[in-house]
Structure 1
Amino acid sequence: MFLLPVTVYILVRIDFVSLAIILVLLSKWRMFAVRPRYWPANLIASSADILVSVALVLFMANTSIQWWQLFWTATYSAWLVWLKPRSDVFSVSVQAMLAQLLGLAVLYLKFGDTPLVALVAGTWLVAYLAARHFLTSFEEAHTALLAHVWAFFAAGLAFVLGHWLLFYGTIAQIIVILTTVGYGLAALYYLDSHDRLTALLQRQLLAIMFAILLIVVVLSDWTGVTV
């Protein structure tokens, strides 16, 4: 498990980033060691792992500071060794939330200047795959429908905010909004599915979500020229 992150780190250090990404993708070869009709299902099942792995490689390549690269290498190792193999509800939920956060972060950090349609499509794909992964650990009869609803919301938000595409440092505004709403809704769903969602806790979570969104909207500079 540690060999892959170390090899990826070495490839990034010698500026073979594309080769590092190819190596990460090749490490998922077991997805295709079955009949072709099972490939789409296996690809969706492994989507969170692919999103996180590729994102961490790109984060590693996005900096020339060695200790930051070592940090991302250690994070990738922790993902492969500790979090990825776990299948309990909480761990799968964390996997999905990380997949969405890191996937969107890479999308807007590395490809923020691409055409709007590409950003919308990329946002839809990341949100859909993350939602599907999150819902797989629950006995949810409408997994595909709920995942599509969340992906449609994310894509719609990307279409609207993509005309401004505001950044807080290196973090796009849409990531803050989708993370706040997504994590909040995921927490509500998780607590409700375990019969731990009280009315007070629900109000507190909704209030926190609203407060964060209000701060984001009020403090953002909306006077820029749209594109």
Structure 2
Amino acid sequence: MDFIRISKKHSFWGSFFHLLFNIILAVIVWLSIVITKSPLIAIILIIASKWRTFAVRPRFWAVNVKSNLVDLIFSLSIAILMYAIAYSNAYVNVTNNSILQICFVILYILWLTFIKPRSDELFMKIQALLSVFFGFTTLFTVGYNWDELITVIASFIIGYASLRHILSINSSKDIEILSLFWGLIIAEISWFSNFLVIAYPIQISNIFNFAIPQVSIIVSALSFTAFEFFLPKKDDKEKKFSDILPAVIFSTILILMLLIFFSSIPKIA
């Protein structure tokens, strides 16, 4: 009985310090951007925080990197967006970005302490969708005038990582080929979207001004449908079209509305 109590005590303190260190990491990432006016140190801190990826034998490094791609994409996206809203030309009209930056810090803390640690199917989908949405939001906010090749490669990685994250739930035997296929589809969409970058501004006075690229919403909707399509059923039965029909209808209506009624908004500049 005493051994059980001691184990629980250590487990509690281990969880407490893990929570504390994650909060500290999010705050330090934000402060490094504010102090240096550059995302470089924040990016280094985020990559360094993944040291456990390489704390195994080298033959496991590739698998660990792939498994951590979704977390890395989301974390880097948040850090770059925190920099962009303060110093990027995309947000030149924002006179007070403190509240928006704090919102991203809180979101990052929630990711590190509540969303990322969960491994059930619902939260795995949430993790993948958030990485897609914020990955593309970052890519088309700060990289809308980058070379097309960089945009396509980054989009491929986001698409590959997101579907692989979902397929890892049931350890699909076709995980790599399907993930590569989806990465190529997403890369094609990003290449086409790169010629017309449309964004929807969300503005509350001068304290909250954020623009969401149209492609981020479209790719997130398509990814939501793809996750439902590629993820096998829990009982290993063959998935019917009726199983994914709600996702198809939702995504189709959303994308058509954006393309037909909300495609005349100026390019981010």
TM-score relative to the length of structure 2: 0.74
Contact 1:124–1:152 at 8 Å: present in 2 too?
yes
Matched, 1:62 2:102: no
For residues 125 and 64 of structure 2, the distance between their equivalents in structure 1, rounded to whole angstroms, comes to 18
1:212 pairs with 2:246: no
1: CA distance, partners of 2:151 / 2:162: 16
Contact 1:96 1:131 in 2 (8 A): yes
- Corresponding residue to 2:183 among 151, 176, 179: 151
Runs of 4+ in 1 over 6 A off after TM superposition: 195-199
Match of 1:116 among 129, 145, 148: 148
- AA aligned opposite 1:61: Y
Picking from 143, 148, 160, the partner of 2:192 is 160
Instruction: Tell me the equivalent position of 1:47.
Output: 69
Pair 1:4-2:46 in alignment: no
Equivalences, count: 222
Query: 1: CA distance between counterparts of 2:113 and 2:106?
Result: 10
Rate the CA distance shift 1:54–1:219 in 2: closer, same or farther, 3 A. Answer: same
Paired residue secondary structure (1:86): coil
Match of 2:49, as an amino acid? S
CA-to-aligned-CA distance 1:84-115 (integer Å, 9 cap, x gap): 11122222221111111111111111111011
In the alignment, the residues of structure 2 paired with residue 95 and residue 51 of structure 1 have an alpha-carbon distance, to the nearest angstrom, of 10
Distance in 1 (alpha carbons) for counterparts of 2:247 and 2:55: 43
Q: Which amino acid in structure 2 is aligned with residue 216 of structure 1?
A: L
User: 1:81-92 to 2 correspondence within 5 Å?
Assistant: 81-92=113-124
Tell me the amino acid that sits aligned with residue 254 of structure 2: I
- Unpaired runs of 5+ residues, structure 2, are 1-21, 87-96, 202-210
Letter in 2 for 1:155: A
CA distance in 2, matches of 1:117, 1:220: 27
Q: 2:220 aligns with which of 152, 155, 179?
A: 179
User: d(CA) in 1 for partners of 2:171 and 2:66?
Assistant: 18
Q: Which amino acid aligns with 1:206?
A: V
Q: Which range moves more in the overlay, 44-53 or 193-202?
A: 193-202
Residue identity (%): 23
Kept in 1, the 8 Å contact 2:132–2:216? The answer is no
SS of 1:168's equivalent in the other structure is: strand
CA deviation digits over 1:134-171, x for unaligned, max 9?
11112422111211121111111222232223333433
Relative to structure 1, the CA distance from residue 85 to residue 124 in structure 2 (aligned partners, 3 Å threshold; closer, same or farther) is same
| CA pair 203-48 structure 1, distance change in 2 beyond 3 A | closer
What is the CA–CA distance in structure 2 between the aligned matches of 1:104 and 1:167, rounded to whole Å? 12
Amino acid aligned to 1:118? I
Structure 1 unaligned residues grouped into runs of 5+: none
